[in-house]
Structure 1
Amino acid sequence: MEDKWRLVAVTAVAPIAWGATYVVTRHLLPADAPLWGAALRALPAGLLLWALARRRPRGSWWWKAPVLGLLNFGAFFVLVYLAAQLLPSSIASSVMALSPLTLAGLAWPLLGQRPTLRWAAGTLLGVVGVVLVVGWSTGVVPALGVVISATALLVFSLGGILATRWSDEVPLLATTSWQLIAGGLALTVAAVAVEGAPPRVDAAGIAAYAGIAVVATALAFVCYFTGLRHLPAGTVGLIGLLNPVTGVLLGVMVGGESLAVAQIAGIVLVLAAIAASRPARTRA
């Protein structure tokens, strides 16, 4: 069991790092160049991992890598940006909190992982916890924004499950690097076509881009795919609920935001959901 909880800790690096990007992006990076922001996040991370893996795609990976790169990085990053423009952050976060359901739902037919009652109870706790953490918008919610956010969730969940199904004993660093490079190249082409030249940033902006590429992308996605290879997908989805929790906590610590009693209760529920998920190794 100790090894399994160690895997939970490794997997948790991903949502915590992703949650930290909210504060970094808001304070240090330009808001009017989302495609370049995504490209400068994915492509350098992929090249870094490729330099460490020192392995080129072979056989079917010449088409699998572009497919996974578009799902996990290209299409996902663009859809998340569009959803952020159309939806209040509380609604967008609440939709993404359904990731345990989408991951487990896809893992059942594609990976043979059947959800358990314990996982279902943990998912219910976790979703309620996220709603308490991020709040709930009382205004009019654009249907298009909800559809785009739900599509982003499905795309990312499908990409993660397919990456696990197609792993075929290929080293994780290699498969992650190929996906990031393929997705990063597609994003770069889109950025040039839509946004033109890369944005100009100061030294702090360069450091922010580097940190997001190395920590919140290269390291985070290696940890995320490690979790999917060795833990049930539904458990990985529950661990992913640490993403909005991290964003809120950093907003309190760095941005001077206040933390309400309901948010504290939500954080407790999310942690309880993860603890109740009872990790179990599914693949060696």
Structure 2
Amino acid sequence: MATIDSAASTGRRRTGIALVTAGTLLWSLAGFFVRLLDLDVWTVFGWRAFFGALGLLAIVAWRNGGRVDRGLAGLGPVGLLAIPVSAISMFGYIGALTFTDVANVMTIYATIPFVAAGIAFLWLGERPTRRVVVASAISFAGIAAMAASALGPSDIRGNALAFAMTVGFSFLMVLSRRHPHLQMAAINLGAAAICFVIALPLMPAVWPTPVQFLILAVFGLATNALAYVLFLTGGRHIPSGEAGLIALLDVVLGPLWVFLAFGEVPTGAALFAGVVVLGATGWYLSGLASKPPADR
């Protein structure tokens, strides 16, 4: 019996790793899609949100026995507060990828564990460990070095949007831990719908071509819906520290795809900051992975 249970546990862990890795791979393609689409930020932002909302609508329906209204009705005041935060994060993500290098965006995004720890301290009173404080200080020193070299208005704007996105995602992470009953798929569905409504009147009069619409559809469904399901489903079967380490692939692969496809070479400052942040984050998460489940 113990052998059967051990084999089942190993199988669940392998499945979890595979699903989390697949979700991370899909997320890492966001910069590639933005570069592939020769469109303005509002068009990309709006239609990605539209197709993402369609995918999230199907997910909410599936999780609630075909009753989308049941998923939305269960949000409550906290869920309604989370929707605009999620919408701001969605815009920050696409805006940042449009205005600055993908490497810059991914480096700032990698500080999520530390930003979330800061929000949890201010909001929930959770005292950060010494490991978090040290890793945070190292990471933000790397980010500061990169920001100091970003003298162009576009880079400054992109870095600011990337940080707004990071703060928003971190807030949602803390919120989901504070209120584990919340259906994050329903929250993201509401956010995507709001994003599309806001972006629609700001789009140019010229519509995307059929090929561009197809790319936008794949972009929205893959990075705004399917990646979410794969990552969260797989994350149920492996430790959070292990999932966090796998998620770091996004930070490495995102710039790699745009380099291979479009020759976008990260600046020296971005490479330095990326190494610093990835090193600090990996050191922090490896400490989590080495602890027993009860201590995480």
Q: Paired residues, what number?
A: 274
Other-structure match for 1:76:
89
| Cα displacement string for residues 204-257 of structure 1 (whole angstroms, at most 9, x for unaligned residues) | x3443333333322232234556499855x876665432231112223444456
Q: RMSD of the TM alignment (CA)?
A: 4.6
Are the structure 2 counterparts of residues 271 and 97 from structure 1 closer, same or farther at C-alpha, using a change threshold of 3 Å? closer
Rounded to whole Å, the distance in 1 between the matches of 2:116 and 2:230 is 16
Rounded to whole Å, the distance in 2 between the matches of 1:64 and 1:275 is 29
Are the structure 2 counterparts of residues 23 and 77 from structure 1 closer, same or farther at C-alpha, using a change threshold of 3 Å? same
Unaligned runs of 5+ in 2: 1-8
Structure possessing the higher radius of gyration over alpha carbons? 2
Rounded to whole Å, the distance in 2 between the matches of 1:114 and 1:10 is 32
Deviation at 1:15, TM superposition (A): 3.7
Deviation at 1:184, TM superposition (A): 1.9
Contact 1:129 1:270 (C-alpha < 8 Å) held by counterparts = no
Are the structure 2 counterparts of residues 282 and 180 from structure 1 closer, same or farther at C-alpha, using a change threshold of 3 Å? farther
Other-structure match for 1:151:
164
Q: Secondary structure at the match of 2:288?
A: coil
Q: How does 1:82-121 map to 2 (within 5 A)?
A: 82-84=95-97, 87-108=100-121, 115-117=128-130
Which residue among 251, 255, 259 is the counterpart of 2:258? 251
Letter in 2 for 1:140: L
Out of 60-69 and 270-279, give the one that drifted further: 270-279
Are the structure 2 counterparts of residues 144 and 202 from structure 1 closer, same or farther at C-alpha, using a change threshold of 3 Å? closer
Rounded to whole Å, the distance in 1 between the matches of 2:294 and 2:205 is 46
Deviation at 1:278, TM superposition (A): 3.4
Structure 1 or 2: more helix by fraction: 2
Rounded to whole Å, the distance in 1 between the matches of 2:97 and 2:267 is 23
Q: Secondary structure at the match of 2:149?
A: coil
* Structure-2-length-normalised TM-score: 0.68
Which residue among 80, 83, 89 is the counterpart of 1:66? 80
Contact 2:50 2:193 (C-alpha < 8 Å) held by counterparts = no
Are the structure 2 counterparts of residues 162 and 272 from structure 1 closer, same or farther at C-alpha, using a change threshold of 3 Å? closer
Other-structure match for 1:209:
216
Whether 1:35 aligns to 2:45 is: yes
Unaligned runs of 5+ in 1: none
Other-structure match for 2:54:
44
Letter in 2 for 1:16: L
Rounded to whole Å, the distance in 1 between the matches of 2:123 and 2:19 is 24
Rounded to whole Å, the distance in 1 between the matches of 2:122 and 2:230 is 24
Are the structure 2 counterparts of residues 87 and 67 from structure 1 closer, same or farther at C-alpha, using a change threshold of 3 Å? same
Are the structure 2 counterparts of residues 237 and 197 from structure 1 closer, same or farther at C-alpha, using a change threshold of 3 Å? farther
Rounded to whole Å, the distance in 2 between the matches of 1:260 and 1:151 is 22
Other-structure match for 1:23:
32
